[in-house]
Amino acid sequence: MKKYIIIFLSIFQYGFATEKDSLAVHNPFLKFHQFIYELDDDCDACGCSASGGSMGFASMLNTNFIGIRYFNQSYKSTDGLYSNSPWYDENFNTIQVWTRIPVVKNLQVSALLPYHFHNRETATGTQNISGIGDVTILAMYRLYQTHKDSTILTHTFQVGGGIKIPLGKFDQANNGSVNPSYQVGTGSWDYLLATEYIIRRKQFGLNALLNYVVKTENEKKYRFGNQFNYAGTFFYLYEKNNFSIAPQIGFAGEVFGDNYQYKQRVRNTAGDIFMGKIGFEIGKDKFSFGVNTMLPIVQNLTNGNVEANYRWSINFNYSL
Protein backbone atom coordinates (compact mmCIF):
# COMPACT_ATOMS: atom_id res chain seq x y z
CA MET A 1 0.00 0.00 0.00
CA LYS A 2 2.75 2.35 1.02
CA LYS A 3 4.45 1.69 -2.26
CA TYR A 4 1.35 2.72 -4.19
CA ILE A 5 1.01 5.89 -2.19
CA ILE A 6 4.59 6.79 -2.98
CA ILE A 7 4.07 6.05 -6.65
CA PHE A 8 0.95 8.13 -6.63
CA LEU A 9 2.60 10.97 -4.84
CA SER A 10 5.54 10.99 -7.18
CA ILE A 11 3.23 11.20 -10.17
CA PHE A 12 1.48 14.07 -8.54
CA GLN A 13 4.73 15.72 -7.69
CA TYR A 14 5.87 15.48 -11.24
CA GLY A 15 2.75 17.20 -12.43
CA PHE A 16 3.40 20.14 -10.19
CA ALA A 17 7.15 20.21 -10.59
CA THR A 18 7.27 23.71 -12.01
CA GLU A 19 5.30 25.19 -9.22
CA LYS A 20 7.15 23.32 -6.58
CA ASP A 21 10.18 25.58 -6.73
CA SER A 22 8.20 28.57 -5.74
CA LEU A 23 6.42 26.93 -2.84
CA ALA A 24 6.02 28.89 0.31
CA VAL A 25 6.95 26.07 2.60
CA HIS A 26 6.63 27.93 5.85
CA ASN A 27 3.73 26.95 7.97
CA PRO A 28 1.84 24.84 5.49
CA PHE A 29 -0.07 23.30 8.32
CA LEU A 30 -2.28 26.20 8.98
CA LYS A 31 -3.96 26.22 5.63
CA PHE A 32 -3.68 22.52 5.36
CA HIS A 33 -5.93 22.01 8.26
CA GLN A 34 -8.70 24.00 6.86
CA PHE A 35 -8.37 22.11 3.71
CA ILE A 36 -8.42 18.56 4.91
CA TYR A 37 -11.67 18.79 6.67
CA GLU A 38 -13.51 19.69 3.56
CA LEU A 39 -12.83 16.23 2.30
CA ASP A 40 -15.34 14.37 4.30
CA ASP A 41 -18.13 15.39 2.17
CA ASP A 42 -20.62 12.62 1.88
CA CYS A 43 -23.80 12.48 -0.05
CA ASP A 44 -25.97 9.52 0.55
CA ALA A 45 -27.32 7.72 -2.43
CA CYS A 46 -30.25 8.98 -0.56
CA GLY A 47 -31.59 12.39 -1.26
CA CYS A 48 -33.01 12.28 2.15
CA SER A 49 -30.27 11.69 4.62
CA ALA A 50 -27.98 13.74 2.44
CA SER A 51 -25.85 15.11 5.18
CA GLY A 52 -22.95 14.47 2.97
CA GLY A 53 -22.49 10.62 2.95
CA SER A 54 -19.07 10.11 1.48
CA MET A 55 -18.67 13.74 0.50
CA GLY A 56 -17.60 14.84 3.94
CA PHE A 57 -18.23 17.39 6.57
CA ALA A 58 -15.62 20.07 6.26
CA SER A 59 -13.20 22.14 4.28
CA MET A 60 -9.60 21.30 3.63
CA LEU A 61 -8.55 24.89 3.58
CA ASN A 62 -10.17 26.12 6.75
CA THR A 63 -10.27 24.59 10.18
CA ASN A 64 -12.95 26.94 11.31
CA PHE A 65 -15.37 28.25 8.82
CA ILE A 66 -18.89 28.90 7.83
CA GLY A 67 -19.96 28.34 4.28
CA ILE A 68 -22.55 27.38 1.81
CA ARG A 69 -22.45 24.37 -0.43
CA TYR A 70 -24.60 23.27 -3.30
CA PHE A 71 -24.60 19.70 -4.44
CA ASN A 72 -26.38 17.90 -7.19
CA GLN A 73 -26.93 14.17 -7.45
CA SER A 74 -28.22 12.68 -10.67
CA TYR A 75 -29.90 9.29 -10.66
CA LYS A 76 -32.17 7.27 -12.82
CA SER A 77 -34.56 4.71 -11.50
CA THR A 78 -37.04 2.12 -12.62
CA ASP A 79 -39.83 0.31 -10.81
CA GLY A 80 -38.11 -2.97 -11.68
CA LEU A 81 -41.45 -4.66 -12.29
CA TYR A 82 -41.00 -5.51 -15.95
CA SER A 83 -38.23 -6.11 -18.44
CA ASN A 84 -39.64 -3.17 -20.39
CA SER A 85 -40.16 -0.82 -17.42
CA PRO A 86 -39.20 2.74 -18.31
CA TRP A 87 -36.27 4.51 -16.63
CA TYR A 88 -36.87 7.93 -15.15
CA ASP A 89 -34.38 10.64 -14.29
CA GLU A 90 -34.12 11.89 -10.74
CA ASN A 91 -32.34 15.04 -9.70
CA PHE A 92 -31.43 15.66 -6.10
CA ASN A 93 -30.37 19.22 -5.31
CA THR A 94 -29.17 20.37 -1.94
CA ILE A 95 -28.08 23.73 -0.63
CA GLN A 96 -26.34 23.35 2.65
CA VAL A 97 -25.14 25.83 5.22
CA TRP A 98 -22.18 24.27 6.94
CA THR A 99 -19.83 25.30 9.62
CA ARG A 100 -17.01 23.94 11.68
CA ILE A 101 -15.98 25.59 14.91
CA PRO A 102 -13.48 24.65 17.60
CA VAL A 103 -14.96 24.14 21.03
CA VAL A 104 -11.98 23.30 23.16
CA LYS A 105 -8.49 22.21 22.28
CA ASN A 106 -8.57 19.26 19.86
CA LEU A 107 -12.34 19.27 19.64
CA GLN A 108 -14.27 20.75 16.76
CA VAL A 109 -17.96 20.70 16.07
CA SER A 110 -19.43 20.62 12.56
CA ALA A 111 -23.01 21.44 11.72
CA LEU A 112 -24.82 20.91 8.43
CA LEU A 113 -28.21 22.41 7.64
CA PRO A 114 -29.52 21.37 4.23
CA TYR A 115 -32.35 22.59 2.07
CA HIS A 116 -33.35 20.06 -0.57
CA PHE A 117 -35.18 20.53 -3.82
CA HIS A 118 -35.53 17.27 -5.70
CA ASN A 119 -37.38 16.43 -8.85
CA ARG A 120 -38.06 13.32 -10.85
CA GLU A 121 -39.85 12.28 -13.97
CA THR A 122 -42.88 10.06 -13.72
CA ALA A 123 -45.24 8.58 -16.26
CA THR A 124 -47.55 11.53 -15.62
CA GLY A 125 -45.01 14.38 -15.58
CA THR A 126 -42.38 15.91 -13.35
CA GLN A 127 -42.75 15.61 -9.62
CA ASN A 128 -41.06 17.99 -7.17
CA ILE A 129 -40.36 17.87 -3.49
CA SER A 130 -38.51 20.46 -1.49
CA GLY A 131 -37.91 21.57 2.04
CA ILE A 132 -35.52 21.83 4.93
CA GLY A 133 -33.62 18.59 5.36
CA ASP A 134 -32.24 16.85 8.40
CA VAL A 135 -29.63 18.69 10.46
CA THR A 136 -26.39 16.94 11.28
CA ILE A 137 -24.17 17.89 14.18
CA LEU A 138 -20.84 16.16 14.46
CA ALA A 139 -18.05 16.50 17.01
CA MET A 140 -14.54 15.41 16.03
CA TYR A 141 -11.81 14.88 18.59
CA ARG A 142 -8.16 14.89 17.55
CA LEU A 143 -6.69 11.84 19.21
CA TYR A 144 -3.27 12.00 17.75
CA GLN A 145 -1.13 14.37 15.78
CA THR A 146 2.57 14.30 15.04
CA HIS A 147 4.43 17.56 15.30
CA LYS A 148 5.42 18.82 11.97
CA ASP A 149 9.03 19.48 12.80
CA SER A 150 9.86 16.03 14.13
CA THR A 151 9.26 13.85 11.08
CA ILE A 152 8.92 13.96 7.35
CA LEU A 153 5.56 12.29 7.52
CA THR A 154 2.92 13.79 9.72
CA HIS A 155 -0.11 11.96 10.92
CA THR A 156 -3.40 13.17 12.29
CA PHE A 157 -6.04 10.86 13.64
CA GLN A 158 -9.47 12.01 14.68
CA VAL A 159 -12.56 10.27 15.95
CA GLY A 160 -15.98 11.63 16.48
CA GLY A 161 -19.65 11.12 16.78
CA GLY A 162 -22.73 12.99 15.82
CA ILE A 163 -26.42 13.09 15.55
CA LYS A 164 -28.85 13.73 12.72
CA ILE A 165 -31.99 15.53 13.78
CA PRO A 166 -35.14 14.88 11.73
CA LEU A 167 -36.12 18.38 10.70
CA GLY A 168 -36.87 17.22 7.17
CA LYS A 169 -40.24 15.80 6.30
CA PHE A 170 -40.53 12.10 5.55
CA ASP A 171 -43.42 11.50 3.18
CA GLN A 172 -44.56 7.92 3.10
CA ALA A 173 -46.29 8.42 -0.21
CA ASN A 174 -42.90 8.82 -1.85
CA ASN A 175 -41.88 5.50 -0.49
CA GLY A 176 -43.36 3.48 -3.31
CA SER A 177 -41.67 0.99 -5.53
CA VAL A 178 -39.17 3.45 -6.99
CA ASN A 179 -36.21 5.09 -5.25
CA PRO A 180 -36.96 4.83 -1.52
CA SER A 181 -34.59 7.71 -0.93
CA TYR A 182 -36.66 10.26 -2.80
CA GLN A 183 -37.26 12.19 0.41
CA VAL A 184 -36.06 15.39 2.03
CA GLY A 185 -35.66 13.66 5.38
CA THR A 186 -35.53 10.19 6.89
CA GLY A 187 -37.85 11.27 9.69
CA SER A 188 -35.53 9.53 12.11
CA TRP A 189 -32.93 10.38 14.70
CA ASP A 190 -29.72 8.94 13.34
CA TYR A 191 -26.31 8.60 14.90
CA LEU A 192 -22.94 8.97 13.25
CA LEU A 193 -19.57 7.58 14.16
CA ALA A 194 -16.65 8.95 12.25
CA THR A 195 -12.92 8.51 12.02
CA GLU A 196 -10.51 10.45 9.94
CA TYR A 197 -6.88 9.85 9.27
CA ILE A 198 -4.56 12.24 7.49
CA ILE A 199 -1.04 11.46 6.45
CA ARG A 200 1.02 14.18 4.96
CA ARG A 201 4.43 14.75 3.53
CA LYS A 202 5.27 18.33 2.71
CA GLN A 203 2.59 19.55 0.32
CA PHE A 204 1.16 16.13 -0.36
CA GLY A 205 -1.33 14.30 1.68
CA LEU A 206 -3.86 11.53 1.91
CA ASN A 207 -7.05 11.88 3.80
CA ALA A 208 -8.88 8.67 4.71
CA LEU A 209 -12.24 8.70 6.35
CA LEU A 210 -14.71 6.14 7.54
CA ASN A 211 -18.06 6.81 8.99
CA TYR A 212 -21.01 4.76 10.00
CA VAL A 213 -24.55 6.00 10.31
CA VAL A 214 -26.93 4.14 12.58
CA LYS A 215 -30.47 4.88 11.47
CA THR A 216 -33.49 4.43 13.65
CA GLU A 217 -37.16 3.85 12.99
CA ASN A 218 -39.18 6.97 12.26
CA GLU A 219 -42.73 7.79 13.34
CA LYS A 220 -44.09 6.10 10.23
CA LYS A 221 -42.34 2.90 11.36
CA TYR A 222 -39.93 3.08 8.46
CA ARG A 223 -36.25 2.60 9.09
CA PHE A 224 -33.61 3.33 6.49
CA GLY A 225 -30.72 0.89 6.38
CA ASN A 226 -27.56 1.71 8.27
CA GLN A 227 -24.93 3.25 6.09
CA PHE A 228 -21.19 2.86 5.93
CA ASN A 229 -19.23 5.54 4.08
CA TYR A 230 -15.57 5.62 3.22
CA ALA A 231 -13.35 7.85 1.18
CA GLY A 232 -9.70 8.30 0.36
CA THR A 233 -8.46 11.55 -1.12
CA PHE A 234 -5.01 12.51 -2.26
CA PHE A 235 -4.36 16.21 -2.21
CA TYR A 236 -1.68 18.71 -2.92
CA LEU A 237 -1.52 22.08 -1.27
CA TYR A 238 0.11 25.07 -2.89
CA GLU A 239 0.26 28.33 -0.99
CA LYS A 240 1.70 31.69 -1.73
CA ASN A 241 1.04 34.86 0.21
CA ASN A 242 -2.68 34.89 0.85
CA PHE A 243 -3.45 32.55 -1.97
CA SER A 244 -3.78 28.78 -1.76
CA ILE A 245 -4.90 26.07 -4.10
CA ALA A 246 -5.51 22.42 -3.34
CA PRO A 247 -6.24 19.98 -6.16
CA GLN A 248 -7.54 16.62 -4.99
CA ILE A 249 -8.33 13.21 -6.42
CA GLY A 250 -9.62 10.09 -4.80
CA PHE A 251 -12.40 7.62 -4.32
CA ALA A 252 -15.45 7.32 -2.15
CA GLY A 253 -17.91 4.60 -1.39
CA GLU A 254 -21.14 3.94 0.38
CA VAL A 255 -22.69 0.71 1.58
CA PHE A 256 -26.34 0.63 2.54
CA GLY A 257 -28.14 -1.95 4.65
CA ASP A 258 -31.72 -3.02 4.08
CA ASN A 259 -34.55 -0.66 4.86
CA TYR A 260 -37.23 -1.90 7.23
CA GLN A 261 -40.90 -1.05 7.42
CA TYR A 262 -42.84 -2.17 10.50
CA LYS A 263 -39.69 -4.10 11.37
CA GLN A 264 -40.06 -6.09 8.16
CA ARG A 265 -37.27 -5.98 5.62
CA VAL A 266 -38.13 -4.05 2.48
CA ARG A 267 -36.79 -5.90 -0.53
CA ASN A 268 -34.39 -4.27 -2.98
CA THR A 269 -33.27 -1.48 -0.69
CA ALA A 270 -29.72 -2.50 0.24
CA GLY A 271 -26.85 -1.62 -2.04
CA ASP A 272 -23.47 -0.12 -2.52
CA ILE A 273 -21.62 2.30 -4.72
CA PHE A 274 -17.97 3.04 -5.34
CA MET A 275 -17.03 6.33 -6.97
CA GLY A 276 -14.03 8.19 -8.23
CA LYS A 277 -13.77 11.84 -7.36
CA ILE A 278 -11.80 14.83 -8.43
CA GLY A 279 -11.87 18.44 -7.37
CA PHE A 280 -10.02 21.46 -6.10
CA GLU A 281 -10.23 24.23 -3.59
CA ILE A 282 -8.94 27.75 -3.92
CA GLY A 283 -8.45 30.12 -1.02
CA LYS A 284 -7.73 33.83 -0.91
CA ASP A 285 -7.55 35.70 2.38
CA LYS A 286 -10.50 34.52 4.39
CA PHE A 287 -12.50 33.21 1.45
CA SER A 288 -12.36 29.88 -0.28
CA PHE A 289 -14.09 28.24 -3.17
CA GLY A 290 -14.27 24.53 -3.97
CA VAL A 291 -15.57 22.24 -6.69
CA ASN A 292 -15.92 18.47 -6.57
CA THR A 293 -17.17 15.86 -9.00
CA MET A 294 -17.88 12.21 -8.36
CA LEU A 295 -18.51 9.53 -10.94
CA PRO A 296 -19.62 5.98 -10.14
CA ILE A 297 -17.18 3.20 -10.94
CA VAL A 298 -19.08 0.22 -9.54
CA GLN A 299 -22.59 0.32 -8.22
CA ASN A 300 -25.42 -1.90 -7.17
CA LEU A 301 -28.14 0.21 -5.63
CA THR A 302 -31.56 -1.21 -4.74
CA ASN A 303 -30.89 -4.35 -6.78
CA GLY A 304 -30.14 -2.34 -9.89
CA ASN A 305 -33.40 -0.37 -9.84
CA VAL A 306 -31.58 2.87 -9.06
CA GLU A 307 -28.48 4.00 -10.93
CA ALA A 308 -26.33 6.93 -9.94
CA ASN A 309 -25.14 9.00 -12.90
CA TYR A 310 -22.92 11.57 -11.22
CA ARG A 311 -22.62 14.03 -8.35
CA TRP A 312 -21.01 17.38 -8.19
CA SER A 313 -20.71 20.10 -5.62
CA ILE A 314 -19.58 23.67 -5.31
CA ASN A 315 -18.93 25.60 -2.12
CA PHE A 316 -17.99 29.02 -0.77
CA ASN A 317 -16.51 29.29 2.68
CA TYR A 318 -15.52 32.09 4.97
CA SER A 319 -12.90 31.26 7.49
CA LEU A 320 -13.68 32.32 11.04
Partner 1 sequence: MKFQLKNILAVMALAIAFTSCSDDDDNKITGEGSIKLEFDNVYGDADFAFNTAYTNSNGEVIKATKVKYIVSNIVLTKTDGSTYTVPKSDSYFIIDEGTATSTLLELPNIPAANYKSISFGIGVDQEQFNLGATGQGDFLTTAQNAGMMWSWSAGYKFVAFEGTFTSSTVTTDTSYMVHTGQTGTSYNYNTINIDFPENAMVRTTITPQVHIMADVKHIIDGTNKISLTSNNMGGMGAMIMGGANLPLITANLSNMFEVHHVHND
Q: State the residues that interact with partner 1 by CB under 8 A.
A: 81-85, 141, 143-144, 159-161, 172-173, 175-177, 191, 193, 214, 216-217, 261-267
Q: What minimum distance in Å lies between the beta carbon of 17 and partner 1?
A: 39
Taking the least distance from each CB to partner 1, the nearer of 124 and 241 is 124
Q: What minimum distance in Å lies between the beta carbon of 143 and partner 1?
A: 5
Fill in the DSSP letter of residue 170.
P
Phi, psi of 31 (to 5 degrees): -65, -40
Strand, helix or coil for residue 30: helix
Q: What minimum distance in Å lies between the beta carbon of 119 and partner 1?
A: 22
Which alpha helices (H) appear in the chain, and where do they start and end?
A: 2-15, 17-20, 28-37
Around Cβ 224, how many Cβ atoms within 10 Å?
Answer: 29
Taking the least distance from each CB to partner 1, the nearer of 10 and 303 is 303
Instruction: Give the total residue count for the chain.
Output: 320
Q: What minimum distance in Å lies between the beta carbon of 142 and partner 1?
A: 10
Taking the least distance from each CB to partner 1, the nearer of 265 and 284 is 265
Q: In the β-sheet with 259-261, what is the strand arrangement from edge to edge?
A: 222-223, 259-261, 264-266
Q: What minimum distance in Å lies between the beta carbon of 82 and partner 1?
A: 4
Taking the least distance from each CB to partner 1, the nearer of 85 and 151 is 85
What CA–CA distance (Å, rounded) separates 170 from 180? 11
Taking the least distance from each CB to partner 1, the nearer of 221 and 240 is 221
Find, among 277, 319, 270, 320, the residue nearest to 299 by Cα: 270
